[in-house]
Amino acid sequence: MRPHSFTHDFPFCETFESMERSPAGEFLRNSRVLFPIVESIHLIGLALFVGTLLLIDLGLLGCAMRRQPVHEVAAALAPWTWSGFALLLLTGPFMFTAQAAKWHDNPIFWIKMPLLAVATVFQLSVRRRIAAEQPAKLIGAISLVLWIATGLLSKMMEFV
Amino acid sequence: MELLGVCQWIYQTPMSIAIRESIWVYPILDVLHCAGILLVAGTIVIVDLRLLGCGMRRSPVSSVIGQVLPWTLSGFVFMFITGSLLAWSEPVRLYHSLFFPWKLLFLAMAGSNALLFHYGIYRGVAAWDLDSLTPARARLAGAVSIVCWICVIAAGRAVGYEMT
C-alpha cells in the first residue's frame, strides 16, 4: 500500500517512498513541533544566505555597496553566506524526507532542484572567480535571477 | 468595539473574502511576504554583525549602515504591505492564534531597538566609526536585533502551523 497516490510518473517513485517511510521521515512527520522548528532554522539560514548574497550581487550590478570594492564586501561576507548555506543544506534534506512522496508528485519540485544545482555550480565556479576581480554586471544579474527563482519556487511548492 | 468584533468585521469585508478565496492571490502574497522578510532580516543581520565585530570589520560602521539601510527599509515596506493584506484575509484565526501576538511583540521590539540605536548611541558614531570593537551599547543593539529577528521568523513560521 502506498501512503500517497502518484499522479505524475516521475522517476524514483520507490526511493522517495522509502525515504518518507524511513525512521527519520516518520519521526519528523509525526512530531508537531519538530517540523516547524526545522523549517524556522531553514528560513533563518535562507535570510543569512540570501541577504549577504543579494548585497554582493547588487554590488556587482553597481546598485549597492558602491563605496567599497565588491571583492572586499564579498570576502567580508563570505563566512556568513556559507554559514547560511550550511544551515540550508543541513535542514533541507530533513524537511524533504518528511514528505518525500508528496514532493515527488510536485512538478515545481522537479524544476526547483535542477535550478538549485545550477545556481550552486554557478556560485562555486563563475561567480566566485569574478567577485574576486572586477564588478561584472552580467554575473551579478544571473546569480540574482538564479537564486531568486530558486527561492520563489521553494515557496510555491507548498501551494501546488 | 472589542478586538474580536473588529476582526470579525474585517473577516466579512469584500477584500478579506476576495484574498481568502482566490486561488492565486494568497499564495503570491505569501511568497512576496517571505521574500520581504528575507530582505529585511538578511540585510539587517549584516549591520548587526558589523556592530558585534563579527563581519566587515574593516569598513566604517556608518558606511555599512548607509549602504545597507535603503535595502532593509524597502524590504520592510514590502513585508509590511503584503503582511497586512495576509492578516486582513484571516483576522479571526490570527485573533485566536497563540504565536501571532508574539510575532508582533518581537517585531515591535526589533523596531524600537533599531530606533533607540539610531537616535541614541549612533548619533555619536563619528567617535567609533572605524573601531572594530564598537561601544557596548552598540553591540547590545546588534545582539538584540539578531535575536528579535530570529524570533519574528520562528513565530511567523509557527503561525502557519497552527490549526484551529
Statement: residue A7 has pLDDT above 70: no
Chain B residue with minimum CA distance to A66? B67
pLDDT band at A134 (very low <50, low <70, confident <90, very high): low
Lowest mean pLDDT among A72-81, B27-36, B96-105: A72-81
Statement: residue A74 has pLDDT above 70: yes
Cross-chain residue pair A55–B30, CB shorter than 8 Å: no
Chain B residue with minimum CA distance to A45? B42
Judged on CB neighbours under 10 Å (0-12, 13-18, 19+), A56 is buried
Question: How far is the alpha carbon of B1 from chain A, nearest alpha carbon, in Å?
Answer: 35
pLDDT (0 to 100) of residue A32: 80
Please tell me whether the interface predicted TM-score (ipTM) of this complex is above 0.95.
Answer: no
Contacts of B71 in chain A (CB under 8 A): 54-55, 58, 64
pLDDT (0 to 100) of residue A64: 78
Question: How far is the alpha carbon of A130 from chain B, nearest alpha carbon, in Å?
Answer: 20
Chain B interface with A: residues with Cβ < 8 Å: 27, 30-31, 34-35, 37-39, 41-46, 49, 55-59, 63, 66-68, 70-71, 149-150, 153-154, 157-158, 160-161
Statement: residue A2 has pLDDT above 50: no
CB nearest to A36's CB, from B71, B150, B158? B158
pLDDT (0 to 100) of residue A45: 93
Average pLDDT over residues A103-125: 90
pLDDT (0 to 100) of residue A86: 94
pLDDT (0 to 100) of residue B79: 95
pLDDT band at A92 (very low <50, low <70, confident <90, very high): very high
Question: From the candidates B19, B33, B34, B132, which should be mutated to test the interface with A, based on the most A CB atoms within 10 A?
Answer: B34
Kindly state the percentage of chain B with pLDDT values over 70.
98
Q: What does the mean pLDDT of chain B come to?
A: 92
Contacts of B161 in chain A (CB under 8 A): 32, 35-36
Cβ-Cβ contacts under 8 Å for A92 (sequence gap 6 or more): A42
Chain B residue with minimum CA distance to A32? B161
Statement: residue B11 has pLDDT above 70: yes
Statement: residue A65 has pLDDT above 80: no
pLDDT (0 to 100) of residue A128: 72
CB nearest to A36's CB, from B27, B46, B157? B157
pLDDT (0 to 100) of residue A22: 86
pLDDT (0 to 100) of residue A130: 62
Average pLDDT over residues A6-29: 80
Lowest mean pLDDT among A136-140, B36-40, B89-93, B134-138: A136-140
Question: From the candidates B25, B33, B59, which should be mutated to test the interface with A, based on the most A CB atoms within 10 A?
Answer: B59
Domain boundaries of chain A, sorted by first residue = 13-157
Chain B residue with minimum CA distance to A147? B35
pLDDT (0 to 100) of residue B147: 96
Cross-chain residue pair B31–A156, CB shorter than 8 Å: yes
pLDDT (0 to 100) of residue A4: 56
Question: How far is the alpha carbon of A137 from chain B, nearest alpha carbon, in Å?
Answer: 18
Statement: residue B133 has pLDDT above 70: yes
Contact by Cβ (8 Å): A65, A58: yes
- Could you write out the DSSP letters of every residue in chain A? --SS---S--TTHHHHHHHHHSHHHHHHHH-TTHHHHHHHHHHHHHHHHHHHHHHHHHHHHTSS-TTS-HHHHHHHHHHHHHHHHHHHHHHHHHHHHHTHHHHHT-HHHHHHHHHHHHHHHHIIIIIHHHHTSS--HHHHHHHHHHHHHHHHHHHHHTT-
Statement: residue B43 has pLDDT above 50: yes
Statement: residue A8 has pLDDT above 70: no
From the list B127, B122, B126, the residue with the least C-alpha distance to B140 is B122
Average pLDDT over residues B13-28: 91
Q: Report the predicted TM-score, pTM, of the whole model to 2 decimal places.
A: 0.83
Statement: residue A23 has pLDDT above 90: no
Statement: residue A158 has pLDDT above 80: yes
Q: What does the mean pLDDT of chain A come to?
A: 84
Statement: residue A1 has pLDDT above 50: no
